Amino acid sequence: MTYLDYSDDELIEAYTAMMEYSGEPTTDMQIAIDQRGGIDHFKKKIELKQIRQKEFDRISKEIYRLVSNETSYEFVRKFINSDIFPEDELDDIVHKKFSQILQSKQNTAITSRTIWGCIIGMICGSIISSIVSVFLVQYSLPLTLLVIFTYMICYLIIWLITKQTRNNILVFITAFLATVISLIADFYILGSGIFSNG
């Protein structure tokens, strides 16, 4: 694949990297640039892309500021305007960023459901993973794999209850504590032999 086969965005990225590395494009790259209107036209494309990226970042920050569990897409959209993006493209940007940011904020939020879900999940996860771990130890599962497997069980149960991932600090801490509790329970059930399998 040569530079002639690159899309405009790919060629811009390659050109930018090349300029940072050597300060000038290679002969093959220069030919590809010339076939797309020459270096001046190409630099205008780069400038336009940078302007669009800067505007996209501005819009993203504005959407992040406006989004909460109580706000709707329609509410947020009313406050977002742009002199760079046409309305149809702006609608698409706002819709996608609104969904991403709302999902992220809901995932990291600590609510009463998160707290109770983590407590119940930690108890259930510790018990279930302890039972499973004791069974697996009989097959000489290495300690490292046992710890990973125990954490996965604890985390999965907490996630099923809260519907929140380990990006939520409470979910992460609770899954870790459940794992520790489960391994301590295994230690008392099986004795110190559990630590000699790794």
Q: What is the mean pLDDT of each run of 10 residues along the chain (198 residues)?
A: 82 84 82 84 86 95 91 92 93 95 92 94 90 75 82 94 94 94 80 49
Q: Judge if 175 and 122 occupy the same domain.
A: yes
**Residue 116 and residue 104 share a domain:** no
pTM of the model: 0.71
pLDDT at 188: 78
Name residues whose C-beta falls within 8 Å of residue 8's C-beta, 6 or more positions apart in sequence: 36, 45
Distance of CA 37 to the CA centre of its chain: 38
> Are 139 and 168 in a shared domain?
yes
Question: Residue 155's domain spans which residues?
Answer: 112-196
Are 72 and 156 in the same domain?
Answer: no
Q: Report the C-alpha gap between 180 and 97 in whole angstroms.
A: 37
Please tell me the predicted confidence (pLDDT) of residue 71: 87
The pLDDT, as a whole number, for residue 198 is 44
Phi, psi at 81, each rounded to 5°: -130, 160
Q: How many domains does the chain have?
A: 2
Q: Are residues 8 and 104 in the same domain?
A: yes
Same domain, 95 and 128: no
